[in-house]
Structure 1
Amino acid sequence: MANKVAFNENYPSIVESNKLYDRAVNIMTPVTQTLAKGPGQYINGVAPKYLKKGKGARVWDVDGNEYIDYNMAIGPLSLGYGYDKVDNAIIEQLKDGITFSMMHELEVVFAELIHKIIPNAESIRISKTGADVTSAAIRVARAYTGRKKVLCCGYHGWHDWYISVTSRNSGIPEEIKELTSTFDYNDIESVKNALDEDTACVILEPFVFEAPKNDFLKELKAVCEANGTLLIFDEMWTGFRVAVGGAQEYFDVKADLACYSKAFANGMPISLLTGRKDIMNLFNEEVFFFTTFGGEALSLAAAVTTIQEMIDQNVPAYLATKGKLLKDGYNKIAEEVGVAQYTKCVGYDCRSMVTFDASAGNGLEVKSFVQQEMIKRGILWGGFHNMSFSHTDADIDYTLKVYREVLPLLKDAIANNTVASSLRGKPVEAVFRKVSNFNTKPKTKAVNG
């Protein structure tokens, strides 16, 4: 019998998941199309590898096990799985068609809506993935400034200009690697030290989990303006979550360009680049950025409906309110149980993360221990609380009850040095992403003399 969202006696059976994996492993390299969804991010032997369906804030794996989901497709499901208004909009558009031989009217409807709600949306471009629009932003910034170098902070996709600064940069020419460097969030001096006359743009996630300090974002904009460098916000996670108008609205800082994808179409593939008209005008003739599926109508219908629902229901406020219950609740339980020195929940209320101190032991093993116990109890858990409009008070109450049972188990395992031996499979793997202590300076130009 499949597990439910309950204090189950046994770990879930994942026989069918493993069968699918065995079919895939020799013909797919790797088996996952999204790194954060892959089997390496879940403890092997306990976590399912394949999901079958979702509704609201719950998912069911291919073995029939049910879970409350706090990953929400790694971000896009801001309203929840199978949200009726969005699904109905997709169904109605499907009757008329998906992709056409000319432009579709929804492109205009969507653009007008974005123009009203995104602070810097003097002009917009539509595409399909986040990496599309971050890379388009870099290209147009270089064209506008006549410069080459990029400073970045956060995660910005798989394209050469960004992934060259990570550990998975094989296949990228050294000449490209030399053009991108990184800076530490909230460290304005690291930006000042890296900027030079060939820096085209600074791109960053307005926040990941740490809040800006000392007006960091406003100071960053001023520093960029003084250097003739464009400021780009990568709002994949902040857009439509902290406010419908994203971090630009929330922090009252207008970027030169801004990029969006997750959250605003409730799971349909679409991305968005907004910015100053004088910069974006370069896409008319000088800079090429076009794609066959940029005007695909099902995603546009979903986006218009999702955004309107976010406005009508004040979804960002809901995400913050419910997320705060989880974040504060976790920290209170950790304090009461006596593990607050080992673990805490950090971040913004709409999207928080459980962290583990090095004093608790191997961080990946500790995370895996908590993950396997959460999954046993019907919660699909990767350390994050990616909140959706479908997460209910009952979901949150149940999750806190599970934390109240699991954290004492963690305390005992740490005290008895049995975390690793308690794991029922291979622990989760590290990914290349790093958001702090990751500052690399660009190479200096040779000086003729």
Structure 2
Amino acid sequence: MANRVEFNPDLPDIAESNTLWERARGLIPAGTQTLAKGPTQFSDGVAPKYLIKGKGARVWDVDGNEYLDYNMGIGPIVLGYCHPAVDAAIRAQLEDGITFSLMHPLEVELAELLRDCIPNTEAVRFSKTGCDVTSAAVRLARAFTGRERILCCGYHGWHDWYIGVTDRCAGVPEAVKALTHTVNYNDLQSVIDAVDEDVACVILEPFVFERENGHFLSGLREVCDRLGVLLIFDEMWTGFRCAVGGAQEFLGVRSDLSLFSKAMANGMPISAITGRGDVMALLEKEVFFYTTFGGEALSLAASVACIDFMRKNDVTARLAQSGQRLLDGLNGLIRERGLETVSVTGYPFRTLMTFSPKAGDPLKLKTLVQQELIRRGILWSGIHNLCFSHSDADIDYTIAAFGEAFAVLEAAVATGRVDAELRGAPLQPVFRKTSQFHSKPRRKDDEALLASGPLNRNVA
């Protein structure tokens, strides 16, 4: 019998997953279309590799095993799998067609909806992926400012301008790599040390897991205003999760451009650039950014339905409430057990569990916890992505399952048997790092640009 969301003495049978994986190896490079979904992030030999169905907060693999999911499609599923409101909108539009030879009215309807929801939105352009709009925003910034250099903070996709700052940069020309540099989150001095009159924009995730310190983004806004640099928020994770209006609404800091994708359509492929009209006006002619499927109607309909449901049902408040319940429960377990090697960070709607090297290889510790959660019917890769469909009962069950997994971890660490307890391959890192790396020191002759004015008050 297939495993369910309950304690299972045996790990799930994943025979069909493994059969499919063997067919994929050698045919699909790395075996997966999305690195975060592949076997390097889920214990090979223990975790399922292929999912076939989702409903609410639960998913089923190709072998029929059921799991409570905390990955949510790696971000897009904000309401829950197969949410009735969104699926009904998709079905209704499907009756009329998917893509057409002229524009569709939903392009206007959704653009107006985003203007009403997102602060400082004077213009909107749609595309399909987060990478599309981050790259378009960088091109816009360069065109608007007449400058070439980019400062970034966080993860921004696979395109050349960004991926050159990581250790997966083969094929990116050195000249392209030289134009992008990283700054560190909550470290305004790292921005001041890197910014100069050649910088077109600072593009960053407004926050990832580390909480904003109360003055970093406002100070960053002031730096950008002082030097004519555009401030761009990459809101693939924050948009429609922290607040319907994204990080600008949540933290009260203005961006010049804000970029959205993941939670916008509850799983359908769509992305958007929003922001200042004078910057976006360059898309009229000077900056070429068009795509056949930017007006694909199923995703537009899904976005309208998803955002409409979120506004009417206060979804972001529900995510915060459920996430806080989970965060409090996990921190309570960590305190009760004195687990100095485990910590949870982030805002409630999306938190991250990390493991200290004090007790051994952090990836092996994480793998053991993942293994024990899979035994209890929970699909987990370290991040807790909350959706509207996660119930209070789901959260309570998850906290109890973590308590049991922590007991296994604690015993394995105490007896030096972490390796012996693992039934599959340890997890692997994705990137070396994207901060404290590829930074650019400020030139001496740039110091005069920052020598006076209220900016210095923000530097501790």
TM-score range, shorter chain: over 0.9
Cα displacement (A) at 1:396: 0.6
Cα shift at 1:436: 4.5
Q: Are the counterparts in 1 of residues 135 and 159 from structure 2 also a CA contact under 8 Å? A: yes
Q: In 2 relative to 1, CA 325–435 (structure 1 residues): closer, same or farther, beyond 3 Å?
A: farther
Partner of 1:380: 379
Q: CA deviation at 1:195?
A: 0.5
Q: CA deviation at 1:442?
A: 6.2
SS at match of 1:97: coil
Aligned to 1:169: 169
CA–CA separation in structure 1 for the residues paired with 2:128 and 2:441 = 31
**Residue 358 of structure 1 aligns with which residue?**
357
Instruction: Provide closer, same or farther for how the CA distance between residues 443 and 180 of structure 1 changes in structure 2, counting only shifts above 3 A.
Output: farther
Say if 1:3 and 1:416 are closer, same or farther in 2 by CA, change over 3 A: same
**Partner AA of 1:355 in structure 2:** T
| Sequence identity percentage | 59
Task: Determine the structure 2 residue equivalent to 1:428.
Answer: 427
SS in 2 for 1:237: coil
What is the DSSP-based 3-state SS (H/G/I as helix, E as strand, rest coil) of the residue aligned with 1:293?
A: helix
Q: 1:425 Cα deviation (Å)?
A: 1.5
Matching of residues 338-349 of structure 1 within 5 Å: 338-339=338-339, 341-349=340-348
Q: Distance in 1 between matches of 2:350 and 2:189?
A: 28
1:418 paired residue number? 417
Deviation at 1:439, TM superposition (A): 5.8
| Secondary structure at 1:39 match in 2 | coil
CA deviations on 1:152-191 (whole Å, 9 max, x unpaired) are 0000010000000000000011000000000110100010
Q: Is the 8 A contact 1:338 1:411 kept in 2?
A: no
Look up the SS of the partner of 1:53 in the other structure: strand
Tell me the CA shift for residue 214 of structure 1.
3.9
Which residue in the other structure is 1:129 paired with? 129
Q: Is the 8 A contact 2:165 2:437 kept in 1?
A: no
Does residue 54 of structure 2 align to residue 54 of structure 1? yes
Q: AA paired with 1:201?
A: C
Deviation string 1:274-322 (CA, Å, 9 cap, x unpaired) is 1100000000010000001000000000000000101001001000000
- Corresponding residue for residue 44 of structure 2: 44
CA distance in 2, matches of 1:249, 1:138: 23
Note the residue ranges of structure 2 that are not aligned, 5 or more in a row.
Answer: 447-460
- The SS at the match of 1:121 is coil
Runs in 1 of length 4+ with deviation above 4 angstroms?
Answer: 442-447
Matches within 5 A, 1:214-225: 214-225=214-225
3-state SS, counterpart of residue 16 of structure 2? helix
Cα distance change, pair 128–442 in 1 and its aligned pair in 2 (3 A): farther
Contact 1:184 1:439 in 2 (8 A): no
User: SS of 2:60's equivalent?
Assistant: strand
TM-score of the superposition, structure 2-length normalised? Answer: 0.95
1:232–1:257 contact (8 Å) kept in structure 2: yes
Secondary structure at 2:28 match in 1: coil
Say whether the 8 Å CA contact 2:194–2:442 is kept in structure 1. Answer: no
**Counterpart-to-counterpart distance in 2, 1:132 and 1:29:** 22
The 5 A counterparts of 1:253-292 are 253-292=253-292
For residue 337 of structure 1, what is the aligned residue in structure 2?
337
For structure 1, the residue ranges without an aligned partner over 5 or more in a row are: none
Aligned to 2:189: 189
Shift of residue 31, structure 1, vs aligned partner:
1.2
1:338, distance to aligned residue in structure 2 (A): 2.5
Q: Which amino acid aligns with 2:217?
A: L
Distance in 2 separating the partners of 1:254 and 1:439: 27
Task: Render the CA deviation track for 1:212-252: whole Å, top value 9, x for unaligned.
Answer: 11411111000011011100000000001111000001111
Alignment of 1:70-149 (within 5 A): 70-149=70-149
**1:133 touches 1:259 (CA, 8 Å); kept in 2?**
yes
Deviations 1:196-221 (A, max 9, x none): 11000000000001111141111100
Cα shift at 1:324: 0.7
- Two-structure CA RMSD over aligned residues (Å): 1.4
Question: What SS does structure 2 have at the residue aligned with 1:274?
Answer: strand
- Return closer, same or farther for 1:445/1:164 CA change in 2, 3 Å cut-off: farther
Find the counterpart in structure 2 of residue 231 from structure 1. Answer: 231
Counterpart position of 1:4: 4
1:55, 1:80 within 8 Å by CA — same for their partners in 2?
yes
Quote the Cα distance in structure 2 between the aligned partners of 1:433 and 1:122. 38
CA distance, structure 2, for counterparts of residue 351 and residue 43 of structure 1: 22
Structure 1 position 434, deviation (Å):
3.1
Distance (whole Å) between structure 2 residues aligned to residue 139 and residue 439 of structure 1? 20
